[in-house]
C-alpha cells in the first residue's frame, strides 16, 4: 500500500475528524455522561460520534469493506436515551453537516461483528476510562487483509507531541504502513516525521509502560518481572494504545500486559491492538503475546489464540519472554 493510496488518505481524514470531535466533547462536557454497556464498560457520546464519523467516511469510499467496530446503536436508540442521541447528532453535525439522528445511528451500525478477508478494525475511543478522567485515550483504526495488519492509525488527542516538552503542545497522530515504516504527525496531519523504537540493549535500561486500570493487567506480575530483570526505572502507567505510540517513538522500551488475576482467561479485542501493533513493529519493535506467539487478527473480534501482550524494542524481546516463563 502506497502512502498516497485512498485507504491511507481516508484513514487519516477520518481519524483527524474523530479526534477533533472527541476533544471538543472532552473540553465542552468534560467527557459528558457515560452509559454502562452490558459488560459494565463505559461508553460516551464521543465513542458514538467518533464511530459514526469514521464508519461513514470509510463506507463512502470503500462500500464493500467490512468494519469491525466496538459500538452499536442499540442503547442509543432506546426511547429514554433520546437526549443523548440528540447530543451525539449535534456533535457529529459539526463535522458532517445536516446529519440526522437516524443517519448517525445507521453509520454507527456499519460496524459488524465478523471478520472477513479484508476489513477495518476500529476502536472509536480506546481507553474510555482515560478519556473520562481527562487522561490518555486514542482513536484506533487498522486495515487488516488475510489476518495481517496493513495499515494502522492512532490518534492520541491528549498526548504530548514531544517528550522534551511534556506540558507543551498536545495531540499526535501515529501512522504505519506495512513495510513502509512508522510516522508521527501533528493532530492536523502535518509535520510528518519517521519514528523509531529505543535502542536499549540491556533490560536494566528499560522503561515499562502498562495500563492505568488494575483490572486490565497484572501490575504485580509486571513488578516482579522488573525486579528479575533489574529494571529500576518506575513504570509509566498510561491508558489506551497511546502506549504503543510512546514505545514506537522510543520513550519507553517495553509494554507489558500480563492478564490480570481477576480475569486470567481474558481474551483481548482485535481493535485494542491492531493499529498499535503495526505502529510498534514498523518503528522497529516486536509484538507478541506473553508466550511469544504472534497476535491473532484472523479468528474473530477476540484474539482467541493469545494470552496477554508483550511489546518491546525487538532487542529485548527474547530476554523478557524468558523471564516471563519463570
Q: Closest distance between Mg ion and the C-beta of residue 125, in Å?
A: 7
Asked whether position 126 contacts ligand AMP by CB under 6 A, the answer is yes
Q: Is 241 exposed, middle or buried (0-12, 13-18, 19+ CB in 10 A)?
A: buried
For helices 101-108 and 82-93, the axis angle rounded to 10 degrees is: 90
Span between the terminal Cα atoms of the chain, in Å: 41
Q: Which of 61, 200, 214, 32 is nearest to 131 (CA)?
A: 32
Query: Looking at beta carbons only, is 37 or 224 nearer to ligand AMP?
Result: 37
71 lies in the site for ligand AMP, by CB under 6 A: no
269 touches ligand AMP by CB under 6 A: yes
Kindly state the smallest distance separating residue 126's Cβ from Mg ion, in Å: 4
Is 211 a residue that touches ligand AMP (CB under 6 A)?
A: yes
Q: Which of 126, 210, 268, 289 binds Mg ion (CB under 5 A)?
A: 126
Measured CA to CA, the distance from residue 222 to residue 209 in angstroms comes to 10
Task: Between 140 and 177, name the residue whose CB sits nearer to ligand AMP.
Answer: 140
Give the span between the Cα atoms of 1 and 177, in whole angstroms: 7
Q: How many residues line the site for ligand AMP (CB under 6 A)?
A: 13
Pick from 210, 272, 282, 296: which binds Mg ion (CB under 5 A)? 272
d(CA 194, CA 287): 19
| Residue 127 binding ligand AMP, by CB under 6 A | yes
307 makes contact, choosing from ligand AMP, Mg ion, none, with CB < 5 to 8 Å by partner type, with none
23 vs 126, beta carbon nearer Mg ion: 126
47 is catalytic: yes
Is residue 128 part of the annotated active site? The answer reads yes
> For residues 239 and 209, what is the distance between their CA atoms, to the nearest angstrom?
10
Residue 213 interacting with ligand AMP (CB under 6 A): yes
Smallest distance from ligand AMP to CB 83, Å: 26
Of the candidate residues 216, 219, 249, 317, the single one contacting ligand AMP (CB under 6 A): 216
**Cα separation, 306 vs 74, whole angstroms:** 30
Provide the CA 108 distance to its chain's centre, in angstroms: 18
Active-site residue among 44, 128, 209, 288? Answer: 128
Closest distance between Mg ion and the C-beta of residue 118, in Å?
Answer: 22
Regarding 272 and contact with ligand AMP (CB under 6 A), the answer is yes
Query: Is residue 268 close enough to count as binding Mg ion by CB under 5 A?
Result: no
181-186/170-177 β-pairing: antiparallel
Q: Given the rule CB under 6 A, which of 88-96, 100-108, 170-178, 213-221 is the region that contacts ligand AMP? A: 213-221
- Cβ proximity to Mg ion: between 149 and 200 the closer is 149
Look at phi and psi of residue 162 and say left if phi exceeds 0, alpha if psi is from -120 to 50, else beta: beta
Q: Provide DSSP, 140-194.
A: EEEEEETTEEEEEEEEEEEEES-TT-TTS-EEEEEEEETTTEEEEEETTS-S-EE
Query: What are the residues binding ligand AMP (CB under 6 A)?
Result: 126-127, 211, 213, 215-216, 239-240, 260, 263, 266, 269, 272
Residues tagged active-site: 47, 128
Amino acid at each position: 500500500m502506497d502512502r498516497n493510496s485512498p485507504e491511507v488518505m481516508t484513514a487519516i481524514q477520518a481519524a483527524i475528524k474523530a479526534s477533533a470531535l472527541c476533544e471538543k466533547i472532552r473540553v465542552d462536557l468534560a467527557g459528558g455522561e457515560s452509559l454502562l454497556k452490558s459488560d459494565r464498560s463505559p461508553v460516551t457520546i464521543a465513542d458514538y460520534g467518533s464511530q459514526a464519523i469514521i464508519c461513514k467516511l470509510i463506507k463512502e469510499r470503500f462500500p464493500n469493506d467490512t468494519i469491525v467496530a466496538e459500538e452499536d446503536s442499540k442503547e442509543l436508540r432506546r426511547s429514554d436515551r433520546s437526549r443523548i442521541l440528540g447530543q451525539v447528532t449535534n456533535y457529529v453535525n459539526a463535522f458532517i453537516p445536516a446529519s440526522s439522528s437516524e443517519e448517525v445511528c445507521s453509520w454507527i451500525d456499519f460496524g459488524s461483528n465478523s471478520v472477513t478477508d479484508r476489513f477495518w478494525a476500529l476502536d472509536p475511543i480506546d481507553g474510555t476510562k482515560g478519556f473520562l478522567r481527562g487522561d490518555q485515550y486514542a482513536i484506533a483504526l487498522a486495515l487488516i487483509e488475510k489476518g495481517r495488519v496493513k495499515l494502522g492509525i492512532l490518534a492520541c488527542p491528549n498526548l504530548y507531541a514531544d517528550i522534551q516538552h511534556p506540558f507543551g503542545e498536545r495531540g499526535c497522530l501515529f501512522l504505519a504502513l506495512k513495510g513502509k515504516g512508522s510516522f508521527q504527525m501533528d493532530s492536523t496531519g502535518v509535520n510528518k516525521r519517521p519514528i523509531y523504537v529505543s535502542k536499549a540493549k540491556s533490560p536494566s535500561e528499560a522503561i515499562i509502560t502498562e495500563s492505568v486500570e488494575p483490572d486490565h493487567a497484572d501490575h504485580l506480575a509486571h513488578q516482579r518481572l522488573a525486579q528479575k530483570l533489574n529494571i529500576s526505572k518506575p513504570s509509566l502507567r498510561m491508558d489506551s494504545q497511546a502506549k504503543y505510540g510512546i514505545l514506537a517513538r522510543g520513550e519507553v522500551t517495553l509494554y507489558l500486559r500480563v492478564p490480570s488475576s481477576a480475569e486470567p482467561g481474558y481474551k483481548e479485542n482485535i481493535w485494542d491492538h491492531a493499529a498499535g501493533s503495526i505502529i510498534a513493529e514498523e518503528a522497529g519493535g516486536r509484538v507478541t503475546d506473553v508466550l511469544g506467539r504472534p497476535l491473532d487478527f484472523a479468528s474473530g473480534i477476540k484474539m482467541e489464540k493469545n494470552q496477554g501482550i508483550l511489546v518491546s524494542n525487538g532487542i529485548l524481546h527474547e530476554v523478557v519472554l524468558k523471564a516471563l516463563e519463570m
